[in-house]
Amino acid sequence: MKKKISPAWFNFFMVAGIAILANFVSSYFSTYIDLTQDKRYTLTPATEEAVEKIDEIIYIKVLLEGEFPAGFKRLQASTREMLNQRKAINPRIQFEFENPVQGTQDEIIKTRDAQAKDGVVPTSLKYYDGTQLVQKAIYPYALINIGTKRAIVNLLEEQQPGSDEEVILNNSISLWNTSLPILFRRC
Amino acid sequence: MISIFWKEIHTFFSSLIAYMVIAVFLVLNGLFMWVFTDSSVLDYNYASMDPLFSLAPFILLILIPAITMRSFAEERQRGTIEFLFTKPLSDYDIIWGKFLANFCLVLFALLPTAVYYYSVYQLGSPVGNLDSGAIAGSYIGLFFLSASFVALGMLASALTDNQIVAFILGAFLCFVVHWAFDYLASLPVFIGNADAFIDGLGIQSHYDAMSKGAIDTKDLVYFAGLIAICITACHAIITSKK
């Protein structure tokens, strides 16, 4: 008996083909609706242009990795999100997250001293983790390398004395969107 | 299609299945969202529903294959599938009817989480200080994720006559399509060249993009394509097994 492809399978391959094609096409021509209240995901044309114009590889190392309280986790997530968004426009933007407080006590001290020379000074953070009060050094910094040029960015907004930590964090997160294009220009 | 839909819905609600699914989904979500300190919104200091949306895929990974495993496997095991196909219904009527019924049951489980929205809304300081637009986006993402899981689960159910096999296979398929591509993309071999492409093959990257509140046409096309592929594959398998 000669085996013939059944109409159902033919149908399946057709649909699969169309679906793959549609995905391919839509990755080039896509629009989106930004439902968030502050239009976080809508890049201004100026930002988009600034990111597109980058023709050198930008390497960004974010020192925000490890166990944090929720507020810093959100800062980390929004930083990653923001960088991913820009990377999608221009693949020359490369980034990684690194935990600077890792390894043995000696190693931690060594990296801390090395970073202090560059002006990367940790913020001391005290928080209650459910059973005890924990004190932790946290590095809310991004180190940016473009060719031989280097820039260090503090991800936290300048602290006003007496302002609430949550407020600082929330402000910092919304600040990210506006601060990065400026930063790229500065480099 | 409608008649199959009602028949299936009727089976769900006249047996324990529907009530079990809804109860288990809500109990697990409720515990993680409000009770366990690691993921509780109350300790989060920020009015959001993120814990629900990051957790729901894990719970649905188990629950949806449990709903869909009976779709075809049970009919075949009992021999009722022949009756179904002798009815004056097209194969697609049967498949889409079952798909919609399974999906509807998941929606019934998701519906009560609107109460969480109201609670978080009231707990915000000041009241109502949360991003409703982003939450709407997350819900849309969750609907598409559920629909994809249902389609994958039904595909698994069409492949076998054994419900347990259908369940395990369904959960495995959902896991692979949702998570595996993300892990694969993070392998050193692919970083910098194919990672974005591989990541885009999985559900996770599309779900995450939607959860943030930006509804992109390419994510919608991805989900529509995935569901269409699963349903036609399901149809092809059923007709070739007839």
Report d(CA B24, CA B222) in Å as an integer: 29
pLDDT of amino acid B188: 76
CB neighbour burial string for B36-58, b if at least 16 within 10 angstroms, e if fewer:
eeebebeebebbbbbbbbebbbe
Chain B partners within 8 Å of A34 (Cβ) = 133, 213-214
Q: Which residues contact A20 (CB under 8 A, 6 or more apart)?
A: B225
Q: Residue A6 in contact with residue B236, Cβ under 8 Å?
A: yes
- Whether residue B29 has pLDDT greater than 60: yes
Domains of chain A: 43-186 (3.40.30.10)
Range from A10-14, A129-133, A134-138, B138-142 carrying the lowest mean pLDDT: A129-133
pLDDT of amino acid A57: 82
Distance of residue A116 Cα from the nearest chain B Cα, in angstroms: 31
Chain A interface residues facing chain B, Cβ-Cβ under 8 Å?
6, 8-9, 11-12, 15-16, 18-20, 22-23, 26-27, 29-38, 40-41, 70-71, 74, 81, 88, 91, 94, 130, 166, 170
Give the up-direction half-sphere exposure of residue A147: CA atoms within 13 A in the CB hemisphere: 6
* B126 pLDDT tier (thresholds 50, 70, 90): confident
Report d(CA A170, CA A165) in Å as an integer: 9
Q: Which residue has the higher pLDDT, B1 or A164?
A: B1
Contact: B136, A35; criterion CB under 8 Å: yes
Give residue-wise pLDDT tens across range B220-235.
999 999 999 999 999 9
pLDDT of amino acid B58: 92
- Whether residue A182 has pLDDT greater than 60: no
> How far, in whole angstroms, is CA A4 from its chain's centroid?
52
User: Does B42 contact A at CB distance below 8 Å?
Assistant: no
Chain A partners within 8 Å of B239 (Cβ) = 6, 8
Distance of residue A7 Cα from the nearest chain B Cα, in angstroms: 8
What DSSP character marks residue A31?
Answer: -
Orientation angle between helical segments B17-30 and B91-110, nearest 10 degrees? 40
Q: Residue A32 in contact with residue B215, Cβ under 8 Å?
A: yes
Contact: B43, A33; criterion CB under 8 Å: no
Q: Which H helix or E strand runs over A57?
A: none
- Whether residue A186 has pLDDT greater than 70: no
Best residue of A32, A167, A174 to probe chain B, by most B CBs closer than 10 Å? A32
pLDDT of amino acid A187: 47
Give residue-wise pLDDT tens across range B57-100.
999 999 999 999 988 888 888 888 888 888 888 888 899 999 99
pLDDT of amino acid A63: 83
Chain A partners within 8 Å of B134 (Cβ) = 35-37
Q: Quick one: what percent of chain B has pLDDT higher than 70? A: 98
- Whether residue B192 has pLDDT greater than 70: no
**Chain B residue with minimum CA distance to A27:** B218
Give residue-wise pLDDT tens across range B137-174.
899 999 999 999 999 999 999 999 899 999 999 999 99
* A158 pLDDT tier (thresholds 50, 70, 90): low
ipTM over the 0.90 cut-off: no
pLDDT of amino acid A88: 77
User: Does B132 contact A at CB distance below 8 Å?
Assistant: yes
- Whether residue A25 has pLDDT greater than 60: yes
DSSP string, chain B: -HHHHHHHHHHHHHSSHHHHHHHHHHHHHHIIIII-TTT-GGGTSS---HHHHHHHHHHHHHHHHHHHTHHHHHHHHHTTHHHHHHSS--HHHHHHHHHHHHHHHHHHHHGGGHHHHHHHHHHSSSTT-S-HHHHHHHHHHHHHHHHHHHHHHHHHHHH-S-HHHHHHHHHHHHHIIIIIHHHHHTSTTTTTTTHHHHHHHSHHHHHHHHHTTEEEHHHHHHHHHHHHHHHHHHHHHHHHH-
Q: Residue B21 in contact with residue B105, Cβ under 8 Å?
A: yes
Judged on CB neighbours under 10 Å (0-12, 13-18, 19+), A128 is exposed
